[in-house]
């Protein structure tokens, strides 16, 4: 039987500890990127800082963000991200992306790479204190904990001793592990090739500490009990229930469009979504 993406998302919301969401009124999708300009967003780039883009790394055309349009193939470029100005708590985030042709130094010999940051806290940095949905060729949907973010998750036991173990759901034989807590720690997505040519849809669902990564409607990574173990406090857990969201800029030509969010926190509090 063919399973639709909507059915897969419904399973995520009910089967991974977020059953209350399924019975709650669904908030509407709200654009984070309006297709015309960076209203509500800002850029942060190496050497240039906030809202300075003299190299025109970010171009907006045909309703999409086009990164590195004007950079010559193989040239040295700056990296960074496009971030929301406001912070978000619980949400369902989705966007579409497709790769361009060009790659650049310092990653010219490596795979094309980008990503979705969420729960960014603290000052802007090229690799901020955050969680990342990896967007890298063959590795889309990998889950990355940066600088204190920590999550309980499950992995294929055959990969436990590997530097980047592979996600496997508990009901498929996955063994429990704790990911993160210090430095940068990776967890590879569910085994298989889930990316396709052209436009792909990446999604993050964050609800009550449960995080789920989807690619083209399929669950490919998951964790629960997301928490921040502050390295400055010897790993003590501190409250960090909101953070910024960003599109990573990492030396590969890429297009983003239809970047939108369902803000569960605003819905539950009665706030009106900000556009």
**Closest to 89 (Cα-Cα) out of 211, 207, 239:** 207
- Taking all residues of the chain, what is their mean pLDDT, rounded to a whole number? 91
Close Cβ partners of 25 (under 8 Å, ≥ 6 residues apart): 267
For strands 113-121 and 58-61, give the pairing.
Answer: unpaired
pTM of the predicted structure, to 2 decimals: 0.90
Q: What is the pLDDT of residue 5?
A: 42
Whether 88 is covered by a domain: the verdict is: yes
Distance CA(19)–CA(135), nearest Å, equals 28
What CATH number is given to the structural domain containing 64?
2.60.120.560
**Alpha-carbon torsion 208, 12, 206, 30, what sign?**
negative
Q: How many CA atoms lie within 13 A of 78 on its CB side?
A: 20
Q: pLDDT tens for residues 88-143? A: 999 999 999 999 999 999 999 999 999 999 999 999 999 999 999 999 999 999 99
Q: What is the pLDDT of residue 167?
A: 98
Whether 157 is covered by a domain: the verdict is: yes
Q: pLDDT tens for residues 153-187? A: 999 999 999 999 999 999 999 999 999 998 999 99
Confirm if 116 and 122 have CB atoms less than 8 A apart. Answer: no
In SS3 terms, the chain reads as CCCCHHHHHHHHHHHCCCHHHHHCCCCCCEECCCCCCCCCEEEEECCCEECCCCCCCEEEECCEEEECCCCCCCCECCCEEEEECCCECCEEEEEEEEEEEEECECCCCCCCEEEEEEEEECCCCCCCEEEEEEEECCCCCCEEEECCEEEEEEECHHHCCCCCCEECCHHHCCEEEEEECCCEEEEECCCCCCCCCCCEEEEEEEECCEEEEEECCEEEEEEEEEEEEEHHHCCEEECCCCEEEEEEECCEEEEEEEEEEEEHHHHHHCCCCCC
Distance CA(264)–CA(201), nearest Å, equals 20
Confirm if 193 and 218 have CB atoms less than 8 A apart. Answer: no
Whether 274 is covered by a domain: the verdict is: no
Whether 275 is covered by a domain: the verdict is: no
**6 vs 164, residue with greater confidence:** 164
Q: What is the pLDDT of residue 19?
A: 42
Whether 181 is covered by a domain: the verdict is: yes
- The total number of structural domains that make up the chain: 1
Q: pLDDT tens for residues 237-266? A: 999 999 999 999 999 999 999 999 999 987
| Mean pLDDT within 70-84 | 98
Distance CA(185)–CA(150), nearest Å, equals 9
Range of 19's domain? 5-269
Whether 158 is covered by a domain: the verdict is: yes
Whether 137 is covered by a domain: the verdict is: yes
Residue 21 pLDDT more than 70? Answer: no
Distance CA(178)–CA(209), nearest Å, equals 14
**Closest to 13 (Cα-Cα) out of 263, 205, 171, 152:** 205
């Amino acid at each position: 039987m063919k399973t639709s993406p909507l059915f897969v998302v419904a399973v995520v919301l009910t089967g991974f500890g977020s059953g209350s969401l399924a019975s709650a009124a669904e908030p509407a999708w709200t654009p984070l990127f309006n297709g015309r300009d960076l209203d509500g967003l800002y850029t942060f780039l190496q050497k240039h800082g906030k809202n300075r883009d003299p190299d025109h790394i970010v171009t907006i055309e045909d309703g999409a963000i086009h990164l590195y349009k004007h950079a010559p193939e193989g040239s040295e470029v700056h990296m960074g991200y496009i971030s929301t100005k406001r912070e978000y708590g619980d949400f369902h985030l989705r966007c579409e992306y497709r790769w361009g042709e060009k790659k650049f130094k310092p990653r010219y010999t490596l795979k094309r790479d980008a990503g979705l940051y969420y729960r960014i806290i603290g000052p802007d940095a090229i690799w901020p204190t955050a969680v990342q949905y990896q967007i890298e060729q063959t590795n889309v949907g990998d889950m990355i904990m940066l600088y204190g973010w920590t999550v309980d998750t499950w992995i294929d036991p055959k990969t436990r001793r590997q530097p980047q173990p592979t996600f496997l759901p508990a009901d498929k034989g996955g063994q429990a592990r704790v990911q993160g807590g210090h430095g940068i720690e990776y967890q590879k997505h569910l085994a298989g090739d889930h990316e396709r040519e052209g436009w792909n849809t990446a999604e993050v669902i964050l609800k009550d500490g449960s995080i789920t990564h989807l690619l083209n409607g399929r669950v490919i990574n998951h964790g629960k009990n997301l928490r921040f173990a502050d390295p400055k406090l010897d790993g003590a857990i501190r409250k960090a229930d909101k953070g910024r969201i960003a599109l990573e800029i990492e030396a590969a030509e890429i297009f983003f469009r239809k970047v939108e969010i369902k803000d569960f926190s605003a819905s539950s509090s009665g706030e009106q979504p900000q556009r």
